Amino acid sequence: MWEVYAISIVFGVVDAFFMPARQSILPKTVADHELEPGNAVLNVTMQASIILGPVLGGVVVAAFGTGWAFAADAVCFAVGFLFILWLPSAARAAAGAKHPDGGLGGQIVAGFRYAWADIGIRVLLIVIAVVDFAANGALGVGLPTLAHGRFDAGATGLGILFAAWGVGATAGALSAGFVPAPKRFGWMTVALCVWLGIGVAVVGVVPSLAPASVAMGLSGIATGVINTYGISWLQRRTDPSMQGRVMSLVMLASMGLTPVAYAASGAIADVNVTLLFLVSGGMMLACGLGAAASRSVRSLR
């Protein structure tokens, strides 16, 4: 197993570089008015890969074996590498020139300072941290508990719940790609926090799989919308030289507290799984109401 552990660490490190780069390169490849459609395409293809990838992987494993599934995945990475080579170059004019913010540590500190100095970016990072902390715990720990316990639906039921969320997120991303972003970004953020908070709380109190799936789908719409409008808003607001660092902070806010969220959610779910969803939904609602109480947030555009 040590080889698997080592490779997993490598994948984690690569993802830490890849995800921010994936978000920060879009403004360099599409026009400003195409940011929402571009992010919508990225979000939809990501959801499609989550749905279709396991299906195709299962087919390959069943037909040829596990090793060939990993080989096919490696081929996909190689093809992706060729496409990346076609992207516009963003190299510095002077090769080997020192970065104005110094080395890696200096650049990280400069990114934190830049994000914290901008009230809009600062608020959005806090919202992302709170909402994703609550959602990751409820969905990652609470949903399996509900599917196997209260709903008595096993792995099939869990798959249906996650699929409902994915369908909702895809619908939300598609809608955001076609509909112009609201003028009042602050109020939209507040509304989506409240929407998600209510949806997550409802999932935890309904008695059966069907209404829980409906609530998951409706909640997923909100994530698709904010992942499209929110990232586009950040890309426009952020100075081009800071795009990578701000997107790294977005990833840190979204995923950095996930281990803590899982541990805390497991402890709460052991006591009462309904309480877990109510606490998670309550955190999102509190985040939305707190943002609404701020004049600076309400005025964000």
Report pTM.
0.81
Predicted pLDDT of residue 93: 41
Radius of gyration of the chain (CA): 20
- Record the tokens describing residue 175, joined without a space: 């809608």
Of the ranges 78-92, 192-206, 227-241, 266-280, which one carries the lowest mean pLDDT score?
78-92
What is the rounded CA–CA span in Å between residue 246 and residue 20?
8
Confidence of residue 117 (pLDDT cuts 50, 70, 90): very high
DSSP 68-81: HHHHHHHHHHHHHH
pLDDT at 32: 87
Nearest to 289 by CA among 185, 176, 195, 224: 195
| Full set of structural domains in the chain with CATH | 2-89+101-298 (1.20.1250.20)
Q: In the prediction, which pLDDT does 75 show?
A: 93
Is the confidence at residue 104, as pLDDT, over 80?
Answer: no
Range among 55-64, 213-222, 287-296 rated most confident: 213-222
What is d(CA 183, CA 248) in angstroms, rounded to the nearest whole number?
26
The mean pLDDT value for 291-296 works out to 87
* Per-residue confidence (pLDDT) for residue 284, from 0 to 100: 95
Instruction: Give the pLDDT of residue 92.
Output: 47
* Average pLDDT over every residue of 160-186: 89
